[in-house]
Amino acid sequence: MLTKRTGLKLATAFAALMITGTAHAAEKLRLLTWADYAPKEVVDQFTKETGIEVEITLSNNEEMISKLRATQGAGFDLVQPSQDRIAGPQTEFGIYKPLDLSKLKSDLFIASMLEATKKNTTIDGKVYGVPHIWGTDGLIVNTKLAPKVADYNDLCDPALAGKTSFRSKRPALIAFAFANGMDPFASYGDAKAYAAMMDKVGAKLAECKKTVKFFWDGKDQLLNALRSGEVVAAMAWDTGGWKLNTESADIKFIAPKSGALGWVDTFAIPAKGRNDDAAYKWINFNMRPEIAAKVAAAAGNFTASNGADKLMQGKLKDQFAESFPKAAIDNIKWYPAVPAGIEEIEGKVLDRLKAGS
Amino acid sequence: MSRKPAQSLTLFLLLAPAVLWLGVLIVLPHVEILVLSFSERVAPRVYAFGFGNYLEFFTEPLYWRTFARTAIMSILVTAITLVLAFPIALYIARVAQGRMKAMLLLLCLLPFWVSELVRTLGWMMLLRETGVISYMLQAIGVTDQRTEFLYNDGAVILGLVYGGLLFMIVPLANALESLDPSVVEAGFDLGGSRWTVLRRIVIPHAMPGIVAGSIIVFMLTVGNFATPVLLGGKNGLWFTEQIYAQFITRFNWPQGAAFGMLLLLLSSAIVWAGLRLTGQSLGTTLKQA
């Protein structure tokens, strides 16, 4: 069903293809990233400055790893997995190549965050990731309809039956472990102890399931349910909470008593990336404070770029200050690198959670 | 003499696309999945041959229960689809004439011009707590608060039956079309009631169509992914979700491959059992489909 206009567009696109095809194919950066991490404005500016076109594919942590694994690290030139999901998959599948840190302008990064990320993504003395965007997992709460929710365990409050939600993924296991007095990160190295701990958490979640409306999967699905009041409290990312807070003041992002979970999304280069130069250019370009501020505003999160916070809009800063008093910031639990094998243990607990009634 | 090689060349050329399609896109990937399913992870990047992935399915109740649940619900869906489709197919094949018949078939086909995902999202809009049906019930005063119809097994069955109807109606209508009206009349003349005629003449005649439709609907249902994921609830894990989880979120390809092979084998076994029970052979059934 071609309309005239799309027909025309197709024809021009085709003609353009012929011309570039015969002349010289424009240099291209194939970027595998999260939604909102590469806003159009920023991409256009990059293309204007460098002449490199950016081809964007949107994904999440698991799909990024699976996609790269399927091709042994080919198909993309730059990817953005979370910092804790690099060392394990790299050991297991060898899908990334070490970064050449001399090509990166390290003073563009917040020094402490750069060091922490480097440490977490180092295998055999080689660094595989540098930080880009960071944020937290915590509670989005409709404070009018569910005023008492302050920690993950409150999602299991029978008074809220059928009105809460979380993802049936690993952050839920980690969160409920902390909320019930355990420290999962301390047991990362001890598979047996970790399995025992996850069984306990699994039992807790199985009980909690009675009050859950659904395990959310897509961000939009959850935000819609929170907007309509079908869900009144959920474990979710801060950015979603602040977005809803802008629309309706009753909905707030709360740092849970037992600690919000801190994540950092990185830049990493796939093992068979074809255009490393473009990848380093994109990273340096993105870490410039004025660019980082634009990306952070689009994603609704914070950036590892040094100095970008001064350029951020006031609203997000205020929301962050309201959600995170000083003590809550200190209480953020930052994910350490996930060792290989841990996810199998978690996987079974999650499978049981979803299958059992 | 010279015609023969030319003939066989024609035959070869005519068959080539189908053979390529089957070989490259179906047989080859399945062989690879089969090989993959027999590898076990020993250490990072070290895999060994073994049956562990299959043993896991039978020893871990979680997995075979999920499969059993999926199979039973799929059989239920197939049965409901058959009951709903039979009168429609009978009407299209025996009562409707000419343009009316074409119209009716087109009406059945129409929803399939839209992708499965969109149709499922449509159901979500109807069934959700703040959706159309819940709103209507409140408006006419049947309920005084919002009702949630989504995220349960009923919603999944509804969605799957809706998706399977067409694939049941077409083979059924095909089978019923060839039924000689004089046989039915003879049945009535000999004093048979409507029920007797239906049971002893119409249904036996339509049997190949019934079996063909049931096989298609069952296979489509048991292998469906989007509908159970979107409409299903926190308790309803479909077996295909289990396969997706192994491949994508657990990075455990060998396990996922083993589950994939098991799904193929076990659902084929169920179809085979169904054929044996109804006394149909695959050959006559395929002619109907």
Model confidence pLDDT, tens digit, residues B265-274: 999 999 999 8
Do A336 and A195 share a domain, yes or no? yes
Interchain proximity B237–A94, CB inside 8 Å:
no
Do A243 and A303 share a domain, yes or no? no
Please give the helix or strand (H or E) that residue A267 lies within, else none.
strand A261-267
Q: What percent of chain A has pLDDT over 70?
A: 92
Do A42 and A129 share a domain, yes or no? yes
Do A272 and A237 share a domain, yes or no? no
Interchain proximity B128–A230, CB inside 8 Å:
yes
pLDDT of res. B233: 80
For residue A307, what pLDDT band results from cuts at 50, 70 and 90? confident
pLDDT of res. A164: 96
Closest CA in chain B for residue A170: B249
* Interstrand relation of A333-334 and A212-215 (parallel, antiparallel or unpaired): unpaired
Do A121 and A217 share a domain, yes or no? no
Using the Cβ of B231 and the Cβ atoms of chain A, whether some distance falls under 8 Å is answered with no
At A160, which CATH number? 3.40.190.10
Do A232 and A350 share a domain, yes or no? yes
Residues A191 and A187: their CA atoms lie apart, in Å, by: 7
For residue A11, what pLDDT band results from cuts at 50, 70 and 90? low
pLDDT of res. B98: 85
Interchain proximity B65–A214, CB inside 8 Å:
no
Do A350 and A315 share a domain, yes or no? no
Q: Following DSSP, what letter does each residue of B217-252 receive, concatenated?
A: HHHHHHT--HHHHHH--SS---HHHHHHIIIIIS--
The average pLDDT across A26-39 equals 92
pLDDT of res. A10: 52
pLDDT tens per residue across span B149-185? 988 899 999 999 999 999 999 999 999 998 988 999 9
Domains of chain B: 65-288 (1.10.3720.10)
A7-11, A26-30, A229-233: which range is least confident on average? A7-11
Residue A197 has pLDDT above 50, yes or no: yes
What's the token pair of residue A351? 């499978």
What's the token pair of residue B257? 């491959």
Domain span at residue A310 reads 4-134+263-326
pLDDT of res. B3: 59
Q: Of A139, A122, A65, A138, which Cα lies nearest the Cα of A95?
A: A65
Residues A36 and A48: their CA atoms lie apart, in Å, by: 20
For residue A23, what pLDDT band results from cuts at 50, 70 and 90? very low
Interchain proximity B249–A169, CB inside 8 Å:
yes
The average pLDDT across B82-91 equals 95
For residue A255, what pLDDT band results from cuts at 50, 70 and 90? very high
The average pLDDT across B40-62 equals 89
Which backbone phi and psi does B2 adopt, to 5 degrees? -80, -10
CA A39 distance to own-chain centroid: 16
pLDDT tens per residue across span B188-238? 999 989 999 999 999 999 998 999 999 999 999 999 999 999 898 887 789
pLDDT of res. A13: 53
Shortest Cα distance, chain B CAs vs residue A168, angstroms: 9
Q: Following DSSP, what letter does each residue of A104-124 receive, concatenated?
A: S-GGGB-HHHHHHHHHHTEET
Closest CA in chain A for residue B230: A217
Among A62, A89, A352, beta carbon nearest to B249 = A62
B 117-176 residues with CB < 8 A to A: 128-130, 148, 151
The mean predicted confidence, pLDDT, of chain B is 90
Interchain proximity A62–B151, CB inside 8 Å:
no
- CB contacts, 8 Å: A230 with chain B: 128-130, 148
Residue B288 has pLDDT above 70, yes or no: no
Do A69 and A159 share a domain, yes or no? no
Residue A275 has pLDDT above 50, yes or no: yes
User: What interhelical angle do B253-278 and B52-59 show, nearest 10?
Assistant: 60
Shortest Cα distance, chain B CAs vs residue A219, angstroms: 14
Total domains in chain A come to 2
Note whether A316 and A161 are within 8 A (CB): no
Residue A2 has pLDDT above 70, yes or no: no
Mapping DSSP to helix (H, G, I), strand (E, B) and coil, where does residue A256 land? coil
Measure the CA dihedral A78/A84/A87/A92, to 10°.
Answer: -90
Residues in chain A: 357
pLDDT of res. A54: 96
Residues B242 and A355: their CA atoms lie apart, in Å, by: 9
Do A21 and A43 share a domain, yes or no? yes
For residue B91, what pLDDT band results from cuts at 50, 70 and 90? very high
Contacts of A142 (CB under 8 A, 6+ apart): A226, A229, A232, A233, A250, A251
Interchain proximity A230–B235, CB inside 8 Å:
no
pLDDT of res. A32: 96
Residue A76 has pLDDT above 80, yes or no: yes
List A32's β-bridge partners, or say none.
Answer: A57, A79
Do A188 and A248 share a domain, yes or no? yes
Q: Of B190, B66, B12, B10, which Cα lies nearest the Cα of A351?
A: B66
Interchain proximity B62–A351, CB inside 8 Å:
yes
The mean predicted confidence, pLDDT, of chain A is 89
Closest CA in chain A for residue B43: A92
For residue A21, what pLDDT band results from cuts at 50, 70 and 90? very low
The average pLDDT across A277-302 equals 92
For residues B135-145, one letter each, b for 16 or more C-beta atoms within 10 angstroms of the residue's C-beta and e for the rest, the string is: eebeeeeeeee
Do A31 and A66 share a domain, yes or no? yes
Note whether B263 and B223 are within 8 A (CB): yes
Closest CA in chain B for residue A61: B249
| Residue A183 vs residues A193, B262, B269: alpha-carbon distances, Å | 11, 38, 47
Question: Which is more confident, A102 or A5?
Answer: A102
Shortest Cα distance, chain A CAs vs residue B62, angstroms: 6
Residue A25 has pLDDT above 80, yes or no: no
Contacts of A271 (CB under 8 A, 6+ apart): A68, A72, A73, A74, A94, A95, A96, A97
Q: What percent of chain A has pLDDT over 90?
A: 72
A2-16, A26-40, B125-139: which range is least confident on average? A2-16
Of chain A, the end-to-end C-alpha distance in Å amounts to: 46
Q: Following DSSP, what letter does each residue of B28-67 receive, concatenated?
A: HHHHHHHHHHTEEEEETTEEEE-SHHHHHHHH-HHHHHHH
Which backbone phi and psi does A166 adopt, to 5 degrees? -150, 170
pLDDT of res. B58: 93
pLDDT tens per residue across span A134-174? 999 999 999 999 999 999 999 999 999 999 999 999 999 99
Interchain proximity B66–A355, CB inside 8 Å:
yes
Residue A19 has pLDDT above 50, yes or no: no
- Report which residue type is found at B30: H
Residues in chain B: 289
Residue B17 has pLDDT above 70, yes or no: yes
Shortest Cα distance, chain A CAs vs residue B69, angstroms: 10
pLDDT of res. A5: 53
- Report which residue type is found at B273: A
The average pLDDT across B81-103 equals 92
pLDDT of res. A22: 43
Residue A1 has pLDDT above 60, yes or no: no
Do A165 and A177 share a domain, yes or no? yes
